[in-house]
Amino acid sequence: MSLYDPEKRSQKEKVPTEDGSLTLYSAEFDECYHSTRDGALRESLHKHILPAFSLSETDKEELVILDVCFGLGYNTLATLHYLQEHPIDAKVKIYSPEFDRDLVASLTDFDYPEVFAPFAEIIHRLAEQGSYRDEKVEITILFGDARATIPEIPDRIDIVYQDPFSPKKNPLLWTREYFADIRAKASKDLILTTYSSATPVRMGLYENGFLLYDTPGDEVRTGTIASLKPLDLKPVDMELKKQRNPQAASLRDGMFY
Ligand SMILES: C[S@@+](CC[C@H](N)C(=O)[O-])C[C@H]1O[C@@H](n2cnc3c(N)ncnc32)[C@H](O)[C@@H]1O
């Protein structure tokens, strides 16, 4: 039995969000692509891009980012926007799984926030051919199921924007086995950002050896930062969480297959 419903995949509606940027509602997942309360652009910047770049080692030849999943591409485009304002020496490679080809092909017509205007040509290329390359950045959309494409990524990953639909709606992208696949591809100083602070998600990360922190700042509701090495942030005490809630458990693939 599949948890997905391709018949409904094309049923989407544009929805305005709190910061004025637009997102979509998906009938297949009965959920919006972004938090309407936080705002699509603000969520992307404050839950993913700013914490990831402030906590990552960017002083290297190549910085590899996994953007799960591409959707409207806000996280990839907000990364380009950030790099325009804060250039780094490293070449940036972005891999982004996505199984909705029609959505990506339609993005040339999406009404993006003004700050993405400089990337119109890049959006065009991604919509047409699923990839873009210049001397500073390489973007590859990995068409297909993320569970199949992530293990095939040929590079060690430095940053993960963990931004699928919610664990309730898209559980296979939040299981212990899913995080194990990410861990297997991680560089030693990988930083993972996510909007979720749900205990089963944190358990899945913790059981794979990640240290956990609340997303810093108060621009958006708290999510989670996961890291393989200690960070200068207030840690989430998972041993205490387990003591207080002995039923706490990660999601497992076997619950859904
Ligand atoms: C919440 S949206 C991503 C929002 C995106 N980060 C953005 O900024 O626009 C989730 C996306 O995951 C895609 N998706 C869901 N399950 C998937 C899977 N197993 N493999 C690949 N893509 C998947 C959906 O088609 C949808 O575009």
Q: 3-state SS of 13-74?
A: EEEECCCCCEEEEECCCCEECCCCCCCHHHHHHHHHHHHHHHHCCCCCCEEEEEEECCCCCH
pTM over 0.85: yes
How much is the mean pLDDT over the chain? 96
Q: Determine the average pLDDT of the residues in 139-167.
A: 98
Pocket test for ligand 1, best of 14, 23, 69 (most atoms within 8 A of CB): 69
Q: Determine the average pLDDT of the residues in 115-138.
A: 98
From the alpha carbon of 161, which atom of ligand 1 is closest?
6
Instruction: Say if CB 225 and CB 51 are below 8 A apart.
Output: yes
Ligand 1 pocket list (CB less than 6 A): 33, 44, 69, 71-75, 97-100, 103, 145-147, 163-165, 170, 173
Q: Determine the average pLDDT of the residues in 169-189.
A: 97
From the alpha carbon of 100, which atom of ligand 1 is closest?
25
Sheet of 22-26, strands arranged across: 12-16, 22-26, 31-32
Q: Determine the average pLDDT of the residues in 143-152.
A: 98
- Which token pair is 125? 């290329």
User: Would the pLDDT of 1 be above 80?
Assistant: no
From the alpha carbon of 72, which atom of ligand 1 is closest?
9
Mutual angle of helices 120-129 and 74-85, in 10-degree steps = 140
Domain-by-domain residue ranges, the chain?
39-255
Percent of the chain scored above 70 by pLDDT? 100
User: Would the pLDDT of 79 be above 80?
Assistant: yes
Which distant-in-sequence residues (6+ apart) come within 8 Å of 49 by Cβ?
A: 75, 78, 79, 82, 161
Q: Determine the average pLDDT of the residues in 25-32.
A: 98
pLDDT value of residue 148: 98
Neighbours of 202 (CB within 10 A): 21
Q: Determine the average pLDDT of the residues in 112-117.
A: 98
- Of 21-25, 50-54, 55-59, 115-119, which range is least confident? 55-59
CA distance 147 to 145: 5
The residue written with tokens 């930062």 in the block is: 225
Which distant-in-sequence residues (6+ apart) come within 8 Å of 84 by Cβ?
A: 118
Pick the CATH number of 39-255 from 3.10.129.10, 3.40.50.150, 3.40.50.1010, 3.40.50.720: 3.40.50.150
